[in-house]
Each structure stands twice: as C-alpha cells, then as structure tokens.
Amino acid sequence: MSRPPRLRIAVQKSGRLADKSQSLIEAAGFRVVKGANDLLYKIENAPIDLLRVRDDDIPTFVGDGVADFGIVGRNVLEERSEGAPPVEVMPLGFGRCELRIAAPKGFDYAGPRSLEGKRIATSYPNVLKKFLKRNDIRADIVTMRGAVEVAPRLKLAQVICDLVSTGATLETNGLESVETILESEAVLVRCRTLSDPALESLAESLIARIRGVSASRDAKYVMMNAPRARLEELTAILPGADAPTVTPLAGREDIVAVHAVCQESVFWETLERLKAAGASAILVLPIEKMM
C-alpha cells in the first residue's frame, strides 16, 4: 500500500525569515516537530512536512513542484531566472525591506539617467537589469554575493543596489539611498499543480488559515458608545473598518453602542480623535482568529 500524500512547504532553514515563517505556520494551528534530520520537520496534526532550505532555493523548489508551497522574500522571487515561476498567493506582512540604489554621500543623483555608464554592484543582477531596461539606461553590473555596501570604498563600483531595512548599513558605509526599485516582504507562494490532487482541500485550508492569521495580526475589535448624531463622523475615524454593528442602548435614544473590526493598527491618536468626536467607553480588543 502506498503512503498517504503529504503537503510540502519550503521555508528558510535559518536566517531572517526562518523563525517568523515557522511561527506563522504554528499560529495557523499546525504543530511543528523536529524530524529525523534538519532538512525536514513534520507537522504532527496534519499531513504536512516543512522542507527547510536556503531561501534562494525556494522559488525553484516551488516552481518545479518539489514543494507545494513556500515562504520567501519577494526580492528572491523576482530575482529567480530559471524554471517555472511559482504563483504568489499572498503577502505575509513580515521581512519587509526595499531593494534600493544607493550612492556615496554627495553623489549628484538626478533620476535614473544619472546611472548611465556607471558601475553598479549588487546581489540582484536580474531585478537591476529589468530596472535599467525599463529606464533605458546602459550601466555595468558587478554581481557580488554579499558585502555589497563596501564596493564603492573598494572602487569596485560607483553605486550599489542592495536591500535596505533600517538604513543603518548604508549610513555606516557613507552611502545614501537615491532610488527604490522593489518593495519586498515575505510572501506565500504555491506551485501551479499540487504534488497530489488529494491534497487540494488541505492546501485550501492552509491558505485560508494563513490568510486568517495574517489578517488578524494587526486587526482589533473596537467597541464604544457613540452619539447617534455623530455616527458617520466616528466610523470614518476607525481605521480599515467597514460596516460596524450599531446597537441601541437601553433607555438612551441619543447614544448607541458601536462594534467594529478594524483591519489596521489602532493607535492612541485614533482613540483621542474618537473621544474628541464624542465617543465614550472605548475598548480595543485583540483578535485571535479570523476567517
């Protein structure tokens, strides 16, 4: 008898996305247990395996169907040059960074034209090539595996194209960002055809659960009492809330209770604005799950 099929998710083994990828899968209700080796972890309450690899291999594995799903930075996905492309299912809201062009402080940058004839060091030659082509610029690309930020100091290149999150690395190396060419975050990708058609409903459930976890991460449940006359004004202040529930309060004609799911973070400033617009008894509650 053949063994029942298992869904494979490729995740980064170690690095910036590793912990968050695994936590996301755990938050979706899947219990991860270490396997016999480091490459494969198992989910004990569902037929799912985690294939733990270098992030650079994830697009190929998923594109070729070695894994059914993957979690990888959009930057790595865009840089992929071989094999079938995986399908992007949804952005995941972590691992945010930008691929930027940066130049030594004082470099006179007046738009992409300023890159004409320059040498640009990068670990993302394909994405950079596309950017240069779009802008009809001819420049030399120096491909480096890492430490791209030292290239101008070593006179390997005049300009660099690298990932930036806080900007501290650029600052330390006397560089400043002059152009953003790609906005990136971790994304869930899937292969075009699952390794076994019997896995379809599990795949759908995985997507729905991950969507739920991602959506509830910033979401908040807001409750408040509001003057009926200012209802419209108050609901407009609530971030990312559509159609709040409005309930009458016993014995009060002028005040109603408002409950709303806000899809975005609710800051103190928002509460202050609600209060100033007449709301009272404002409660903001976390949401654990959403579907």
CA dihedral over 182, 56, 11, 190, signed as positive or negative: positive
Task: Determine, following the binding rule CB under 6 A, whether residue 20 of this chain makes contact with ligand PRT.
Answer: no
Least distance in angstroms from the C-beta of 167 to ligand PRT: 5
Q: Can you state the percent helix, strand and coil of the chain, rounding each to 5?
A: 30, 35, 35
Q: Which amino acid is at 222?
A: V
- Closest alpha carbon to 225 in 282, 286, 284: 282
Task: Determine, following the binding rule CB under 6 A, whether residue 56 of this chain makes contact with ligand PRT.
Answer: yes
Contact track, Zn ion, 42-81, x by CB under 5 A: -------------xx-------------------------
Phi (first) and psi of residue 247, to 5 degrees: -125, 140
Order the strands of the 245-249 sheet from edge to edge: 245-249, 252-262, 220-227, 280-286
**Residue span binding ligand PRT (CB under 6 A) among the ranges 49-57, 124-132, 229-237, 251-259:** 49-57
When binding is defined by CB under 6 A, the residue of 184, 214, 216, 270 that contacts ligand PRT is: 184
Least distance in angstroms from the C-beta of 13 to Zn ion: 10
Closer to ligand PRT at the Cβ: 61 or 238?
Answer: 61
Rg (CA), the chain: 24
Task: Determine, following the binding rule CB under 6 A, whether residue 104 of this chain makes contact with ligand PRT.
Answer: no
Which residues sit at the interface with ligand PRT, rule CB under 6 A?
Answer: 12, 15-17, 54-56, 73, 75-76, 95, 97, 162-169, 184
